[in-house]
Amino acid sequence: MTEQEWNEYVNFASGGEWPIPRGMIGDYNNWLCRSIVGRALYFRDKVEEAMTVLATVVDVEPSMEPAEKGMSEAEHKILCLRDIAKIVWGLTGNTEAALNYWDQAIALCESYQHKFNSVARGEISYGRLVMLVAAGHEEEAKAEARELTVAKRFEREGINSYRYFAYRFLAEREHAAGNLQKANLLYEKAFFYYPKSAEGERDYAAAAQMNDHEERYQKYLHMTSMQYLQWEI
């Protein structure tokens, strides 16, 4: 990547509809700047350009300590690996190569002992499962998801993103197969481990009272888009 290319990427990331302050991302020698720019490019569908930037952080060893504010270095690296996995799969269809990046991201999630300020840890594992299905390995993905339904790591009492995303994934596969009642039972289990406010508890109770299976499923699906509370506090 040339200096001119880097400056073009920074200009793009610092402009448009979702601008990032240039002062936060302009230093090429800071791998965190490259991390942010690369992910911003990917978010805005500049896929090959994103890969050019994100490839420069693959071998970075992040600090495993928490940041004073915002995301830790470990979280930055996890999100970079996640996006690289998606890009590799999307551009090449190379399952083995994409899984390598997913597995690195998942291992970092498990190793990092401090609070996450970005995505839920279980969401990274979920992304791997979704890709396995797209690659034609649904039964393998479902077997891995069933193992995750007993994951021991809780973000806090009663809250477990690994279990939530595992049950959610299994619910989605049952729905895709036309097994609506089973899909709803799995979604009900998923939301047992989801961080819910009073509003979330009301939505959860309301879904359980719905007799139409498709209507109930759609209610659960809507709830997946609602971040009632943070995963980790």
pLDDT tens for residues 105-150? 999 999 999 999 889 999 999 999 999 999 999 999 999 999 999 9
182's tokens: 């089973």
Task: For residue 22, give both structure tokens.
Answer: 């240039």
In the predicted model, is pLDDT for residue 182 greater than 90?
yes
Query: Distance (Å, rounded) from C-alpha 25 to C-alpha 43?
Result: 15
Q: What is the Cα–Cα distance from 123 to 78, expressed in whole angstroms? A: 11
Report pLDDT for 184. Answer: 98
CB within 8 A of 56, min separation 6: which ones? 1, 31, 34, 38
Q: Which fold has domain 1-118?
A: 1.25.40
**Domain boundaries along the sequence of the chain:** 1-118, 146-233
Q: What's the confidence (pLDDT) of residue 44?
A: 96
Numbers of helices and strands, H then E, in the chain: 12, 0
Residue pLDDT, tens place only, 14-46: 998 889 999 999 999 999 999 999 999 999 999
Q: Which helix (H) or strand (E) holds 100?
A: helix 95-111
What single letter denotes the amino acid at residue 71? M
Instruction: Quote the DSSP letter at residue 56.
Output: G
Taking a C-beta distance cutoff of 8 angstroms, is the pair 49, 40 a contact?
Answer: no
The pLDDT of residue 232: 87
Ramachandran bin of 146, using left for φ above 0, alpha for ψ from -120 to 50, beta for the remaining angles = alpha
Give residue 64's pLDDT band: very low, low, confident or very high (50, 70, 90).
very high
CB 167 within 8 A of CB 149: yes
CA dihedral 201, 206, 210, 213 (to 10 degrees): -40
Mean pLDDT of 165-169: 98
pTM exceeds 0.85, yes or no = yes
**Is the confidence at residue 233, as pLDDT, over 80?**
no
**Residue 227 in this model has a pLDDT that exceeds 90:** yes
Amino acid residing at 209: Q
Q: How confident is the model at residue 156 (pLDDT cuts 50, 70, 90)?
A: confident
Question: Which residues does 4 contact at the CB level (< 8 Å), separation at least 6?
Answer: none
Q: Is the Cβ–Cβ distance between 101 and 90 less than 8 Å?
A: no
